[in-house]
Amino acid sequence: MSELQSLRSDRSSKQQELRACTNEVAVLNNKIAKLDIIIEDFAQFKRDVQEHRNHFRQVSNETYDDWKGTLFIQSRINMSSNIYMSSLREYVNKVDDNLDELNNERMRLQNEIYSTEGLIGNIKASINWLSTKITNLLN
């Protein structure tokens, strides 16, 4: 094989590697875009549940002129402690845990893309990891 043929073969091989890598990055970007939609849906759902929880708290604190006595007090305590304090809070926490896992998966996919970018990609991956951890702590 001549040197020219060898160089052409190497170039062709590298072009195939580049196409494969470019295709993989496109697939990962597509997955990230789909995940972004799911993350936003979960975040909106969490906000909605929190809003309902706050509304429920307001309802449980209302007083009624025609409803008094121990039955009213017990009903208010049951609503407040059983539903508002435990069930809804646990539900919000579970939604939050799922949101954290979605954020972690998004970070993993982004870091796969960054792994194709050499040293700058490593720095981006580190920043991405820190940003995701901060986001998970704040949501």
pLDDT digits (tens, 9 = 90+) for 12-41: 999 999 999 999 999 999 999 999 999 999
Question: CA 48 to CA 52: how far, in whole Å?
Answer: 6
Residue 57 CB partners (closer than 8 Å, separation 6+): 80, 84
Give tens-digit pLDDT for 50-99: 888 888 777 767 776 666 667 666 776 666 666 666 778 888 899 999 99
First to last CA, the chain: 61
In the prediction, which pLDDT does 54 show?
A: 82
- Cα 137–chain centre separation: 12
Q: What is the pTM of this model?
A: 0.76
Question: CA 12 to CA 1: how far, in whole Å?
Answer: 15
